[in-house]
Amino acid sequence: MSIETVAGVDWAGGAWIAVVFDGDSDPTCRLEADLKALWNDGVDRILVDVPIGLPDDAETLAKREAVDAAARAAAERPSSVFPVPSRGACELARDDADYETVSERNRADLDKGLSRQSYHIAPAVGAVDAFLREDEAARERVMEAHPEVCFRGLNGSPLDRSKTTARGVGERLDALDGHLTDPGATLGRICRELVDAEPGTAAGDSPDEGVTADPTVDDAVDALGLAVVARHAGDELRFLPGDATYGDSEGIPMRMAYWSDEPLA
């Protein structure tokens, strides 16, 4: 498969921040209210930091938990991988249901409640799930990837510091050395592009009404890391959990993409 245009995408609490490589060009940054808009622009591969492949009963939950356990072990940062909401819970969250309602649906589906962290990202998870259920062709090119796993693979060893600290950002930029020319300058340019960017547009264009987002530096670092993996790996992406192949009840793959010299699982 020829890969020309790739993107790394992170949810920024109101919109998607996407770092896009188009061929050999320097990466550009954009905000999108809808991930499908990025796909419709002709991006060949998208690595996105939200769960793809959702549980809705005990059987699919066991598969999902196997994927997440592999990610925790690979990243060696267990707290960075949070429990995935059920499909029904995500659908309610997309419809603006309150926390108690969504948590109760999750309990009915999976026999456990939902954390506040999972609740806040559930609308974005549900949006990606709805998109992939509608478009089967996208399922092989729009893939879940966890930034901590990806940076672990690029770095060749576990990361020591949180991405929310200056040292943690520096550590992740160090992991990009050798895979990207001048990662620090690239991150600085991406952050500058975000100054005037509004959701649903490339930087500087007119915004979609009613959608707000204020990406953080670690959102930008995560999106950049995923984009580098998407470009660098070519046809040699690896997946967690190893050779196991899982799918949810809709046939959507449950796996996490990454790249490293040696398998992490």
Q: Which residues contact 130 (CB under 8 A, 6 or more apart)?
A: 91, 94
Type of residue at 80 = S
Residue 147, in any domain of the structure = yes
Q: How much is the average pLDDT of 195-215?
A: 57
Residue 213, in any domain of the structure = yes
Q: Which residue segment(s) compose the domain that 220 sits in?
A: 5-52+142-240
Residue 152, in any domain of the structure = yes
Residue 48, in any domain of the structure = yes
- pLDDT at residue number 200: 63
Q: Give the model confidence (pLDDT) of 85-107 as tens digits.
A: 999 999 999 999 999 999 999 99
Residue 128, in any domain of the structure = no
Checking if the pLDDT of 10 tops 60, the result is yes
- Give 22's strand partners: 5
Residue 260, in any domain of the structure = no
What's the mean pLDDT when you consider all of the chain?
Answer: 90
Structural tokens at position 147: 């930034």
Judged by DSSP in three states, 94 sits in helix
Checking if the pLDDT of 212 tops 70, the result is no
Tally of structural domains, the chain = 1
Percentage helix, strand, coil for the chain under 3-state DSSP, each rounded to 5: 45, 15, 40
Q: Give the model confidence (pLDDT) of 248-259 as tens digits.
A: 999 999 999 999
